[in-house]
């Protein structure tokens, strides 16, 4: 079977634009969660979010003009802009610029979103009600469709290989990476650009998740403390926005062109809960099977794993259920590995979360450091493994597992290894 490595990464998150700046801030235990000020939240119970910092004259702030011209952005929901920016970063980082049709036809794209153009859809409805159908933009539909990140990117670079998008709620980014890796393994492409993008922090998005009682509402006055996985005071997740994109490449192909390699996709596992539309099964069986399947795919024993980047959303039920699944799968080895939730610093990026967290996991492998779980002041009962509270931890990391679970009972786990 063909091996798959990562040769490029790109990221836009509440910690900024660009992978290395993101990583530095994460290891400095900084938070990208703040009070929402770009629209009225006075009547909403949740008033905080992980927001992408924007501006032109700061190295780490997101400058959309650097990636997508203003005239084109008027025809795109912001999730597409974030996805394009992260993808452009990743492609540039990889150095892969195919210049003939054979290579272009062997290069594909899978970039998904959990929700897609929610803000754009809400705005278009207002326009329709106020002005009638003639006031609606002819670009409304293509500006909102989830597969249009993949579409725009393929057009920009001429990538003519497999082109589609994953839509599996909060598992989207991980599923995109896993599916792309299998496309390469099965020989249908040599290079795949894969990841997820999300920009659902709007009144409709916040109100919807708040109605489901999923969001943190108790830390509106101290936003950076709102996302606190495994802490006794956690009261829901904090919405976030951004994108993460990786360039996956067949190993011999990457080696032949002298590409920089971040790490290897060793295994990919999926499962379904078949339990509830928003809650995981109390025994954590879905997450357990996703991790087990990923390790089986990698042909690795549980004792090979050194670090787990948890789904860890800061919800009262989900955090401990995932921890229970980890303990059940890893047994005594659970007390030898480190597990953290980087959502504590950036919030829950929904469809982008799995890709962003896979990148963080690759950097943990590269730099031999487990990133921290912020705000873990008072761990819940039973949280007795190393959850990397507050500060990063230097340690040996040869194999990492990255978990992503989503509404509808969809689960994905990736097993990542150090660069060959």
**Identified catalytic residue from 9, 76, 170, 412:** 170
Q: CA 290, CA 91: separation in Å to the nearest integer?
A: 29
User: Assign residue 336 a region: left if phi > 0, alpha if psi is -120 to 50, beta otherwise?
Assistant: alpha
**What is the DSSP code string of 350-416?**
GGGHHHHHHHHHHHHHHHTEEPPBTT-SSBPTT--SB--BSS-EE---SEEEEEEEETTTEEEEEEE
Look-up: residue for tokens 């490029």? 8
Is the distance from CB of 110 to CB of 153 less than 8 angstroms?
Answer: no
Is the distance from CB of 296 to CB of 289 less than 8 angstroms?
Answer: no
| Residue 202 annotated in active site | no
DSSP H/E element including 143: none
Residue 40 phi, psi (nearest 5): -70, 125
Token pair for residue 133?
Answer: 């159908």
- The residues carrying an active-site annotation are 170
């Amino acid at each position: 079977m063909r091996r798959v490595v990562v040769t490029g990464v790109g990221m836009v998150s509440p910690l900024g634009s660009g992978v290395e700046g993101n990583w530095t801030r994460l290891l400095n235990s900084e938070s990208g969660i703040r009070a929402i000020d770009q629209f009225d939240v006075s009547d909403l119970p949740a008033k905080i979010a992980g927001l992408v910092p924007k501006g032109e004259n700061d190295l780490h702030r997101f400058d959309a003009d650097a990636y997508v011209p203003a005239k084109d952005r008027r025809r795109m929901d912001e999730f597409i802009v974030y996805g394009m920016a992260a993808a452009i970063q990743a492609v540039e980082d990889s150095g892969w610029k195919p210049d003939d049709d054979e290579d272009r036809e062997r290069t594909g794209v899978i970039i998904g979103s959990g929700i897609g153009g929610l803000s754009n859809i809400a705005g278009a409805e207002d326009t329709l009600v106020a002005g009638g159908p003639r006031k609606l933009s002819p670009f409304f539909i293509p500006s909102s469709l989830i597969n249009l990140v993949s579409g725009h990117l393929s057009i920009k670079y001429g990538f003519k290989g497999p082109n589609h998008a994953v839509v599996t709620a909060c598992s989207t980014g991980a599923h995109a990476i896993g599916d792309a890796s299998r496309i390469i393994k099965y020989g249908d492409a040599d290079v795949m650009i894969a990841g997820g993008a999300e920009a659902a922090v709007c009144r409709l998005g916040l109100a919807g998740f708040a109605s489901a009682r999923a969001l943190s509402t108790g830390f509106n006055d101290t936003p950076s403390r709102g996302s606190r996985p495994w802490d006794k005071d956690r009261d829901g997740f904090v919405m976030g926005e951004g994108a993460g994109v990786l360039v996956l490449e067949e190993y011999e192909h990457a080696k032949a062109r002298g590409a920089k390699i971040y790490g290897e996709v060793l295994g990919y596992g999926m499962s379904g809960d078949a339990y509830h539309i928003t809650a995981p099964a109390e025994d954590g069986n879905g997450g357990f099977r996703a991790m087990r399947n990923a390790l089986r795919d990698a042909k690795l024993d549980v004792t090979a794993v050194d670090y787990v980047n948890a789904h860890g959303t800061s919800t009262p039920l989900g955090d401990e259920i995932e921890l229970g699944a980890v303990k059940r799968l890893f047994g005594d080895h659970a007390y030898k590995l480190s597990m953290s939730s980087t959502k504590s610093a950036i919030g829950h990026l929904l469809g982008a979360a799995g890709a962003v967290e896979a990148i963080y996991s690759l950097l943990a492998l590269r730099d031999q450091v487990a990133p921290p779980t912020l705000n873990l002041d008072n761990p819940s009962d039973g949280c007795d493994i190393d959850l990397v509270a507050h500060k990063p931890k230097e340690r040996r990391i040869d194999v990492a597992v990255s978990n992503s679970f989503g509404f509808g009972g969809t689960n994905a786990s990736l097993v990542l290894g150090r660069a060959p």
